[in-house]
Amino acid sequence: PLFVPAVMNLVNLDVSEGNTEDARKRLEGLLVRQPGNANALLALAELKARSGAGYPEVIPLVEKAVFENPDVLLPRSALIRWYLAAGDGAKALEAALAAKDRFPRNAEVLSQLGSAQLASGDAQQAVLTFRDVVIMHEGVPAAHFQLARAQYAAGDLPGARRSLRRALQLEPSNVEGLLAQIKVEASAGNNAEALDLVRTFQKTHAELAVGYLVEGDILFADKRYAQANAAYRKALAVDDAAVAAIKVHQVTAAGGSPAEAARFASRWLAEHPKDGDFRSYLAERMIAIRDYEGAKGELATVIALQPDNASALNNLAWICHETGDARALEYAEKAVRLAPGNANVLDTLGMIRLDRGELPQALELLGKAAQLAPTAPTIGFHYASALVKAGRNGEAVRELEQVLRPGKPFAEEQEARRLLHSL
């Protein structure tokens, strides 16, 4: 007879010793005999992810674990986590609602539901969900932190402040909570209070770069470029990471020293040639000034380093489309396979399909993108353009009115107004 716990113990031992191939064979052997074993399916998914497999290969294993074990919480919880990690807020929300139907008073499920609601853009509903979690676990700091995060996303700064105060009463040294408190004060325009808080944080957490990054962000927003630069460079001295390097480059350029910013970028890449994050950032700046060849070069390097980087593939697809490079479709399709719930990725492939005259496919892609990102005006405009081509003018008018209603400027605003006027 097959003793599953013994097999799983051997799998864990293999993984701890770095024998991933042996672990994989054991799990696959177990699944031949028990195809629906939830623990084996979830372990195989984790193992594949560690070995570099993308979400399209990993998530179906977790989906199968849920399908085969509908009354078990663990696979459902894992599926929500994987959808969130893949950036697919819509599927995460669907999975979380299904889990809530099965486990209506489970705090873990409610917490994941709140996270999925936030990821899908429904901050108000997330606030209500996290309030239920707080009622169930009033003495648990994490519940109050989650509620504060949702309140902040919903624009309720006083509510977020109250929730953070309660959370920090329960756990005064919580780093995430202390940083969130600073963020709330800065967002409320209380920069002096935010700077006092961040400098207190730096005294007790001098080893964390994030304290200097947050200080830099507050000063940068206040256009105090030299002081922001100094704060970011302190962060860089504490942790030699791309996030701080990007900030230094941004503030140097914004402060009126583009030549110094260029020299900094050259030095950084000479010392960190495999820094894909910094190269991706540079590529986006190049795209903004229409230096497409420069951006292509940086993105090609990023993809060579990180073949499954959906964002880099998407940006490269967009550049190729703009410059008439036939590889645009190939890059965009791969990006969608890797990030099927990302609105920007769907938008790029949708526009490529639209320009190729493939209207049904374009409508499906752009419609899903608009659904995933209802407040993104460019995506809404693209979807409206496709609706017009399909002769669905009434729907196009509604989409354009929704896009233009907030009154916020965006790149295609005048084009959108002309299209609406013509309809």
- Does 382 lie in the same domain as 356? yes
Determine the structural domain holding residue 372 and report its residue range.
Answer: 341-423
- Does 405 lie in the same domain as 335? no
Structure tokens at 125: 């509903």
Helix (H) or strand (E) holding 300: helix 292-305
Question: Cα separation of 370 and 383, whole Å?
Answer: 7
- Does 367 lie in the same domain as 421? yes
Mean pLDDT for the stretch of residues 138-166: 96
Mean pLDDT for the stretch of residues 366-387: 92
Does 1 have pLDDT greater than 80? no
Evaluate whether residue 321 is within a structural domain. yes
- Does 387 lie in the same domain as 374? yes
- Does 401 lie in the same domain as 345? yes
- Does 376 lie in the same domain as 366? yes
Question: Cα separation of 264 and 181, whole Å?
Answer: 32
Write the DSSP string, 124-136.
HHHHHHHHHHHHH
Evaluate whether residue 353 is within a structural domain. yes
Do 246 and 238 touch, CB atoms closer than 8 A? no
Mean pLDDT for the stretch of residues 219-238: 97
Evaluate whether residue 228 is within a structural domain. no
Mean pLDDT for the stretch of residues 18-23: 82
Q: Residue 2 — pLDDT band, cuts 50, 70, 90?
A: low
What pLDDT is recorded for position 371? 87
Q: What is the 3-state secondary structure (H, E, C) of 105-153?
A: CCHHHHHHHHHHHHHCCCHHHHHHHHHHHHHHCCCCHHHHHHHHHHHHH
Contacts of 13 (CB under 8 A, 6+ apart): none
Structure tokens at 364: 């499906």
Strongest mean pLDDT among 54-63, 344-353, 400-409: 344-353
Q: Tens digit of pLDDT for each residue in 304-335?
A: 999 999 999 999 999 999 999 999 999 999 99
Buried b (16+ CB within 10 A) or exposed e, 271-280: ebeebbbbbb
Structure tokens at 24: 């994989």
- Does 414 lie in the same domain as 345? yes
Mean pLDDT for the stretch of residues 349-373: 95
Contacts of 4 (CB under 8 A, 6+ apart): 30, 34, 37, 39, 40
What pLDDT is recorded for position 66? 97
What pLDDT is recorded for position 21? 83
Evaluate whether residue 316 is within a structural domain. yes
Q: Residue 106 — pLDDT band, cuts 50, 70, 90?
A: very high
Crossing angle of the two packed helices 55-68 and 73-85, in degrees rounded to 10: 160
Rounding to the nearest 10 degrees, give the CA dihedral for residues 269, 274, 278, 280.
120
Average pLDDT, the chain: 94
Q: Tens digit of pLDDT for each residue in 155-203?
A: 999 999 999 999 999 999 999 999 999 999 999 999 999 999 999 999 9
Question: Cα separation of 75 and 81, whole Å?
Answer: 10
Predicted TM-score (pTM) of this structure? 0.79
Do 375 and 121 touch, CB atoms closer than 8 A? yes
Q: Which of 84, 99, 120 corresponds to the end of one domain?
A: 120
Do 202 and 215 touch, CB atoms closer than 8 A? yes
Evaluate whether residue 156 is within a structural domain. no
Structure tokens at 58: 């990993």
Question: Cα separation of 383 and 359, whole Å?
Answer: 11
What pLDDT is recorded for position 120? 86
Rounding to the nearest 10 degrees, give the CA dihedral for residues 295, 239, 244, 231.
-160
Evaluate whether residue 198 is within a structural domain. no
Evaluate whether residue 138 is within a structural domain. no
Q: Tens digit of pLDDT for each residue in 253-280?
A: 999 899 999 999 999 999 999 999 999 9
Evaluate whether residue 45 is within a structural domain. yes
What pLDDT is recorded for position 7? 83
Q: Tens digit of pLDDT for each residue in 70-90?
A: 999 999 999 999 999 988 888
Question: Cα separation of 47 and 7, whole Å?
Answer: 15
Domain count, the chain: 4
- Does 390 lie in the same domain as 323? no
Choice among 11-15, 295-299, 329-333, 349-353 with the minimum mean pLDDT: 11-15
Q: What is the CA radius of gyration of the chain?
A: 24
- Does 364 lie in the same domain as 326? no
Crossing angle of the two packed helices 209-221 and 242-254, in degrees rounded to 10: 20
Question: Cα separation of 85 and 112, whole Å?
Answer: 12
Q: Which of 78, 99, 120 corresponds to the end of one domain?
A: 120
- Does 300 lie in the same domain as 290? yes
Mean pLDDT for the stretch of residues 5-28: 83
